[in-house]
Amino acid sequence: MTELVASQQPSPPGMDLAAGAKLVARVTELEQRAIGLQATKDDLIAQIRALQQAGGI
């Protein structure tokens, strides 16, 4: 999705195609990391709720 959005926007003056491609790759990497962190957060919340229901907290 990032690639599609990035490809539809004009490049800033002075930014070459290689730099733009590196930027898109970095944004994509950060998006994937954010998705992983959200999944970890959701998993931890679920574990805490399970412990609370079991009377462990």
Measured CA to CA, the distance from residue 40 to residue 2 in angstroms comes to: 22
What are 7-38's pLDDT values in tens digits?
666 766 777 899 999 999 999 999 999 999 99
The CA distances from residue 35 to 6, 19, 25, 29, 38, in Å, are 19, 24, 15, 10, 5
pTM: 0.60
Kindly tell me if the per-residue pLDDT of 49 is higher than 80: yes
Residue 25, pLDDT score: 97
Domain range annotation of the chain: 17-57
Kindly tell me if the per-residue pLDDT of 1 is higher than 60: no
